[in-house]
Amino acid sequence: MAVNETFAQYSNWAYGSAIGIYVLAMLFCLAEQAFGRVKTKQAATVAAPALVTAGADSAGSAVADLPDVDGTPAPEDEPQDAAPGQRRPLTERLGRMGVSLLVLGLVVHLLAIVLRGMATDRPPWGNMYEYMSVLCFVALAVWLGLMRKFPIRRATPYALLPIVILLFLGGTVLYTQADPVVPALQSYWLAVHVSAAASASGILLVPGVASVLYLMRSAYDSNPDRWFRRLGPKLPAKATLDRLAYRTTIFGFPLFTFGVICGAIWAESAWGRFWGWDPKETTAFVAWVVYAAYLHSRATAGWRGNRAAIINALGFCVMIFNLFFVNLVTTGLHSYAGVG
Amino acid sequence: VTTTVDAPKTDGGGTPPPPRTPARTALAFLRNTWRGLTAMRTALILLFLLSVAAMPGALLPQRVLNEPQVETYITDHGWWGRLLDKLQFYNVFGSVWFSAIYVLLFISLVGCLLPRTVEYFRQATAKPVRTPRNLSRLPHHARAGVAGDAEDVLAVARGQLRGWRTVEREEPDGSRSISAERGYLRETGNLVFHFAMLGLIVAFALGKMFSYSGQVIVLANGTQQAEFCNSGVLNYDSFTPGLRVDGTKLDPFCVRINDFKATYLPSGEPESFNSNISYQSGDDLTTNTWQPYDLHENAPLRTAGDRVYLLGHGYAPQFTVTFPDGQKRTGLIQWKPDDQTTFLSEGATKFDPPDTPNASQLDKKQLAITGLFAPTAAFNGSILTSTYPALNNPWAAVQIYQGNLGQSSGAAGQSIFTIDQGQVANGQLKMVKMVNMKLGSSVSLPDGTKISFDQVQQWVSLMVAHDPTQDYVLLFAVLLFLGLATSLTVKRRRVWVRVTPSGDPQGPRRTVLEVGGLARTDQAGYGEEFTKLSARLLESARAVPGRKDA
């Protein structure tokens, strides 16, 4: 199985370009963060939802939705964009350019992944470098997708920061040249198990970031003069971040579960047992339990809010620990980093 | 796990508290323990403890995975290492403290699930709850006045609530309402998830009792030496029984390894392994029929309830010794690869002299060929190394010993890969020659014995695994996943519709339509659904009189 060196080379160039574009996007978004003024909507200006007022021909009275825990109306302390029709200020336009750059970066990134797969003629997630690339791609794609539903554009630099760091580490320290995988990995489970694990990790990066932001915003809200005096008001509202974290976790967690189950099925046919407390398996188990604790904490009085956010952030720390420490430091059956 | 914590109910002021008796106190203690244990907060804390307690299993070497590594760790870390050993940190998943946590969690889970299951079945037939008096106090609410008869508006609402469990009620003030609820599947998924988890734990534990695994090395040449039969524990090189396995009644089957082929990349990285084998089980054992199988990585042989895995491989150099009297003996035994990338191997091939009736004489004339074997040889001066794992240029750097190998001394079994250095030290075993031999070459010893390096064969190490409950574990894992996905995607929510006739009884009929909604679970996004649903309801209600008037 020969490696197509041309594709491999193009893939590397695309990977490097994607990082460059992401950094540029981050600079644009940071400019918005740094120089943009924050207008927060006053409670009085909240428009009553149109649906009940419009066409309520006579006796009907329009009653606005109460802002509820999972409600659609934007919380009042959300940073707002300029109203439609108004010319957008430069900073906001910069932020939007940053997002456009992000889309471009994502396309180039996808190209890097696809070319890598074509070069090696196997799923392009066979070592740690490739895994990291897929993880970051999924995380960013999810973030961009969520931007349509949640007012999180201004928080983009916070999501980009860990992603760019991971991609940089992947491209330098962990870089492995395009090669076929060892016989143990030559299975269709590579396509299923590893993609599920990488996507789940990528998705779970989003609630991890959102939870850290939640804690920052929560500290700011409780004492605006002491904590994050400048950053705090530019962060999305607590309710938004909490909702974002929850809704991405309930998607990432089952996928992670699926990935672990697939891993167990594969381990049964590759290593002779479906579960053997290999360091990777153990840490995955720990992460799974932490995320289970997060979901339970959201249904326990006194554990919502800050505590839930801490648990979620902790969950992502365990995922990252599992990625780096277990692959690079311990020796287990999962040591496929290809870093020597 | 239950979502609320019941505070112990205090009696009303009227009755005096019952007198304290030991039995009552004990009962109260038990009740409070049970309540405490099954509370959500406790479950949360236990989940945390479980994750913290599992961590050393990933950070410290574990006996079940790598015993020598544990020993090295203990020696390297002195008293600290020994303390960790006493506290069972090298066997985390069999330790008392880890077991204590999961047993408590298990009890907590059962304690939560029982009342919840009862509640679930009670709910299965229950009617949606009565419409709240004041719908505008609900998190979601919409209200409009429409033209038309209350009955017609209600009929329209009924049509829009298809798929919901509904009940209609007449209220004292003359208005009518529909209570609707849906998303019962969420609780179904939730219970399936938790019960599947219980099942998985039980199946896993049973598996630990009745499973076994063993390893064995056999030559890959299709001869008698390439056969392995699962007829007894002694046929294995190493055997790990489950807690309830005594090594008898193994599932009978036999395998024969016909060949082994490995291909490598130019870098020496393996590209593929595969081995043609024959096996027999069941009726084939009595008729001595062999079935073919292509054994390779990720494709174990599954037969007779067991699985056979290709775990590793290596080389077995074959030497022929021609004794001074002309008799020949051939030695063929596996050497162990010291380096997994170049397969530089070490080993010892041992010979007994022929026609020696007396055991004491036998001992004095034994012969051993020991040293290194390189599949692709390279020399650093005269030091042999290997540069590639395939058999491109096989050489052996051997020391030949004559004398007493010490095998009959009654001591514990000798390693098959080395000679007993004690025998060398006490002078009973002497090195007579040290030489680098290319494949096909031969050397002569001072006493006229001739040794030739004939050929190199391959061996494979096989693992046999038996786990009677793993299919159940898989089944529960799949149920667990399905339950989890269902319980996280389905939302339990309620909607109420109330129609109240309004306006002048003589004039055109008018109706006030009110809709209220409540998401019962921690599920974001009901707001959007409610908005759509109430818009649709109001929309179609407005269409009622239009149709009638036309």
Q: Do A301 and B488 touch (CB under 8 A)?
A: no
pLDDT at B2: 40
Pairing of strands B345-351, B366-374: antiparallel
**Chain A (33-62) residues lying within 8 Å, Cβ to Cβ, of chain B:** 49, 51-52, 55-62
Task: Name the residue of chain B whose CA is nearest to A2's CA.
Answer: B265
With contacts defined as CB-CB under 8 Å, which chain A residues touch B272?
183, 186
Percent of residues, chain B, with pLDDT higher than 70: 91
pLDDT tens column, A227-266: 887 788 888 889 889 989 999 999 999 999 999 999 999 9
Q: Do B55 and A297 touch (CB under 8 A)?
A: no
Chain B contact for A329 (CB, 8 A cutoff): no
Q: Do B139 and A66 touch (CB under 8 A)?
A: yes
With contacts defined as CB-CB under 8 Å, which chain A residues touch B50?
289
Please check whether residue B391 is in contact with residue B315, taking contact to mean a CB–CB distance below 8 angstroms: yes
With contacts defined as CB-CB under 8 Å, which chain A residues touch B3?
299-300
Task: Please list, in sequence order, all residues whose beta carbon lies within 8 angstroms of the beta carbon of residue B66, skipping any fewer than 6 positions away.
Answer: none
pLDDT tens column, A168-194: 998 988 888 888 888 878 888 989 999
pLDDT tens column, A258-283: 999 999 999 999 988 999 888 899 99
User: Which residues make beta-bridge pairs with B122?
Assistant: none
pLDDT at A324: 87
CA distances from B315 to B216, B300, B395 (A): 15, 22, 12
Query: For A277, which of B59, B62, B502 is closest by C-beta distance?
Result: B62
- Nearest-5° Cα angle at B484, B479 to B489: 130
With contacts defined as CB-CB under 8 Å, which chain A residues touch B64?
276-277
Task: Name the residue of chain A whose CA is nearest to B475's CA.
Answer: A261
pLDDT at B357: 62
Whole-complex ipTM = 0.86
When pLDDT is cut at 50, 70 and 90, the band that residue B16 belongs to is low
Pick the residue with more confidence: A252 or B9?
A252
Residues constituting chain A? 340
With contacts defined as CB-CB under 8 Å, which chain B residues touch A266?
298
Q: Do B524 and A55 touch (CB under 8 A)?
A: no
Helix ranges (H only) for B87-143 are: 96-125
pLDDT tens column, A298-313: 878 788 889 999 999 9
With contacts defined as CB-CB under 8 Å, which chain B residues touch A270?
297-298
Please check whether residue A335 is in contact with residue A272, taking contact to mean a CB–CB distance below 8 angstroms: no
The whole-angstrom distance between B488's CA and the closest CA on chain A is 6
Residue type, A136: C
Q: Do B297 and A303 touch (CB under 8 A)?
A: no
Distance between CA atoms of residues B179 and B164, nearest Å: 9
Q: Do B57 and A282 touch (CB under 8 A)?
A: yes
Task: Name the residue of chain B whose CA is nearest to A315's CA.
Answer: B51
At residue B520, φ and ψ (nearest 5 deg) are -85, -15
Mean pLDDT of chain A: 83
**Is the backbone of residue A334 left (phi > 0), alpha (psi -120 to 50) or beta?**
alpha
Assess whether pLDDT exceeds 60 at residue A296. yes
Q: Do B47 and A326 touch (CB under 8 A)?
A: no
When pLDDT is cut at 50, 70 and 90, the band that residue A63 belongs to is very low
Pick the residue with more confidence: B146 or A193?
A193
Interface test with B, best of A1, A3, A52 (most B CBs within 10 A): A52
Interface test with A, best of B4, B41, B44, B340 (most A CBs within 10 A): B44
Q: Do A183 and B480 touch (CB under 8 A)?
A: no
**Chain A (120-179) residues lying within 8 Å, Cβ to Cβ, of chain B:** 179
Chain B contact for A189 (CB, 8 A cutoff): yes
Please check whether residue A235 is in contact with residue A213, taking contact to mean a CB–CB distance below 8 angstroms: yes
**Alpha-carbon dihedral A17, A20, A22, A25, rounded to 10 degrees:** -120
3-class DSSP string for B527-546: HHHHHHHHHHHHHHHHHHHH
Q: Which residue has the tokens 């303390």?
A: B83
With contacts defined as CB-CB under 8 Å, which chain A residues touch B150?
none
Q: Do B481 and A257 touch (CB under 8 A)?
A: yes
Chain B contact for A5 (CB, 8 A cutoff): no
Helix ranges (H only) for B370-469 are: 421-425
Q: Do B43 and A296 touch (CB under 8 A)?
A: yes
When pLDDT is cut at 50, 70 and 90, the band that residue B19 belongs to is confident
Could you tell me the two tokens for A133?
Answer: 């690339």
Q: Do A186 and B50 touch (CB under 8 A)?
A: no
With contacts defined as CB-CB under 8 Å, which chain A residues touch B263?
none
Element (H, E) at B73: helix B67-86
Q: Do A183 and B270 touch (CB under 8 A)?
A: yes
Single out the residue of B76, B284, B199, B170 nearest to residue B479, CA to CA.
Answer: B199
At residue B182, φ and ψ (nearest 5 deg) are -150, 175
Single out the residue of A206, A249, A285 nearest to residue B489, CA to CA.
Answer: A249
Lowest mean pLDDT among A18-22, B81-85, B476-480: B81-85
Assess whether pLDDT exceeds 80 at residue A59. no
Distance between CA atoms of residues A56 and B539, nearest Å: 10
Query: For A70, which of B62, B147, B523 is closest by C-beta distance?
Result: B523
Assess whether pLDDT exceeds 50 at residue B509. yes
With contacts defined as CB-CB under 8 Å, which chain A residues touch B265?
179-180
Helix ranges (H only) for chain A are: 5-35, 50-53, 90-120, 128-147, 156-171, 188-189, 195-222, 238-270, 279-297, 306-328
Q: How many other C-beta atoms lie within 10 A of the C-beta of residue B74?
A: 17
Distance between CA atoms of residues B389 and B391, nearest Å: 7
Lowest mean pLDDT among A82-86, B144-148, B303-307: A82-86
Strand order in the sheet with B493-502: B140-147, B510-519, B493-502, B176-182, B165-170
Single out the residue of B493, B485, B495 nearest to residue B526, CA to CA.
Answer: B493
Could you tell me the two tokens for B44?
Answer: 């949360």
When pLDDT is cut at 50, 70 and 90, the band that residue B546 belongs to is very low
Distance between CA atoms of residues B206 and A42, nearest Å: 62
Question: Does residue A308 sit in helix, strand or coil?
Answer: helix
HSE, CB side, 13 Å, CA atoms: give it for residue B133: 2
With contacts defined as CB-CB under 8 Å, which chain A residues touch B512?
59-60
Task: Name the residue of chain B whose CA is nearest to A325's CA.
Answer: B59
Task: Name the residue of chain B whose CA is nearest to A187's CA.
Answer: B298
Please check whether residue B320 is in contact with residue B351, taking contact to mean a CB–CB distance below 8 angstroms: no
**What DSSP character marks residue B262?**
E
Lowest mean pLDDT among B5-14, B272-281, B301-310, B350-359: B5-14
